[in-house]
Amino acid sequence: MLSIDPSKRSSLERRICDGDLVIVYERHDKVKAVRVQKGSDFQNRFGVFKHSDWIGKPFGTKVLSNKGGFVHLLAPTPELWTLVLSHRTQILYLADISFVISYLEVVPGCVVLESGTGSGSLTTSLARAVAPSGHVYTFDFHEQRASLAREDFERNGMSSLITVTVRDIQGEGFPDEFCGAADSVFLDLPQPWLALPSVRRMLKQDGVLCSFSPCIEQVQRSCEVLGAGFTDIRTFEVLLRSYEVREERIIGTEGVQDSPVGSLPRKRRQCISRDVNNDSKEITTTISTVVARPCRETRGHTGYLTFARLACS
């Protein structure tokens, strides 16, 4: 993962090499992760793209296919990885991830415990946040999921920042070796209240917990237990609304002697054309202007984020 390496913060300083992971960008809702291999090619509706043409080019380059179509080759970042990873479980998306990292106060050097590795979406962003001297210890009870996540982290060059362990945190709690060592803890469990006694022992003084729950009943049960040993308990639901901003043409008519009715302010007009109809004595006016509308498909409820701070003893 390019942005996790402190010596390679800028993608403009790196050129694509054989074996690199590249994010192929067609449009905002169509991206794909591709491992560059000399002699291979990538095919989509725009044509065939040869990997050999990509090698040596800087990240961000626009490349052409055999048919003249194009894609952009982007550097892999945690944000883009969230959009292209394999969904082994429900994942957290960028709105929730950014909120979690901010409220957990995760900074370089932090030690973070995570229960519920899943597909590794949040884990990847946590690793970027704690780099270069911190570490993320993530646990999952499902052995196959944990193994696949570990392979992803190794392929993406993040194994030095992430340790994956198979463990049932609800039933066994976190390992004793982390007692009083965690700056932050994140739980994504069906019954998070069962893990809270262990979380209290793991957190440093004034450490912060976040629990992700899809149902409000889980939140209510967790908050009842959090009352013992935690303070500053708050629950949030993050809803993201996207907008489409694009140029459109507005067509209207007006009488020759009349002034325009309902015309847009002059500062918004980009291109105006007029066609006079001599028979009806009307003028057809076409105005090109930029409009903004909410996207038709807006991501709704994902879950509730409950935060709590370990009370000072």
CATH number for the domain spanning 234: value is 3.40.50.150
CA distance 56 to 17: 6
CB 62 within 8 Å of CB 11: no
pLDDT in tens, the chain (313 residues): 654 555 555 555 689 999 899 999 998 788 999 999 999 999 998 899 999 999 999 999 999 999 989 999 999 999 999 888 888 888 888 999 999 999 999 999 999 999 999 999 999 999 999 999 999 999 999 999 999 999 999 988 899 999 999 999 999 999 999 999 999 999 999 999 999 999 999 999 999 999 999 999 999 999 999 999 999 999 999 988 888 888 888 776 555 444 444 444 444 445 555 555 555 556 667 788 888 888 776 666 789 999 999 998 6
Q: Which residues lie closer than 8 Å to 10 by C-beta, 6 or more apart?
A: none
Number of domains in the chain: 3
Residue 96 assigned to a binding site: no
Same domain, 106 and 129: yes
Residue 252 assigned to a binding site: no
Same domain, 29 and 149: no
Same domain, 167 and 278: no
Same domain, 86 and 139: yes
From 125, 227, 120, 118, select the one nearest 184 (Cα to Cα). 125
Q: What is the pLDDT of residue 254?
A: 58
Q: What is the pLDDT of residue 274?
A: 54
Residue 122 assigned to a binding site: yes
Domain that holds residue 231: 80-239+301-310
Q: Which residues lie closer than 8 Å to 110 by C-beta, 6 or more apart?
A: 129, 130, 134, 183, 184
Strand order in the sheet with 203-213: 162-166, 135-140, 111-115, 182-187, 203-213, 304-310, 230-236
Around Cβ 140, how many Cβ atoms within 10 Å? Answer: 28
Q: What is the pLDDT of residue 41?
A: 92
Residue 120 assigned to a binding site: yes
Residue 183 assigned to a binding site: no
- Domain membership of residue 7 (yes or no) is no
- Where a domain ends, among 37, 54, 76? 76
Q: What is the pLDDT of residue 27?
A: 84
Same domain, 121 and 217: yes
Same domain, 182 and 202: yes
Same domain, 200 and 252: no
CA distance 171 to 55: 49
Residue 119 assigned to a binding site: yes
- Domain membership of residue 193 (yes or no) is yes
Angle at the Cα of 76 from the Cα atoms of 143 and 87, rounded to 5 degrees: 35
Around Cβ 285, how many Cβ atoms within 10 Å? Answer: 16
- Domain membership of residue 15 (yes or no) is no
pTM of the model: 0.80
- Domain membership of residue 2 (yes or no) is no
Q: Which residues pair with 34 in a beta bridge?
A: 22
- Domain membership of residue 16 (yes or no) is no
CB 106 within 8 Å of CB 129: yes
From 126, 112, 48, 116, select the one nearest 82 (Cα to Cα). 126
CA distance 308 to 231: 6
- Domain membership of residue 1 (yes or no) is no
Same domain, 86 and 192: yes
Residue 207 assigned to a binding site: no
Q: What is the pLDDT of residue 245?
A: 87
Q: What is the pLDDT of residue 157?
A: 87
Phi, psi of 259 (to 5 degrees): -85, 155
ω into 192 cis (within 30 of 0)? no
Strand order in the sheet with 70-74: 30-35, 21-27, 70-74, 61-64
From 198, 193, 147, select the one nearest 177 (Cα to Cα). 198
- CA 49 and chain centroid, separation: 27
Q: What is the pLDDT of residue 300?
A: 64
Same domain, 103 and 225: yes
CA distance 82 to 285: 46
Same domain, 187 and 288: no
CB 35 within 8 Å of CB 19: yes
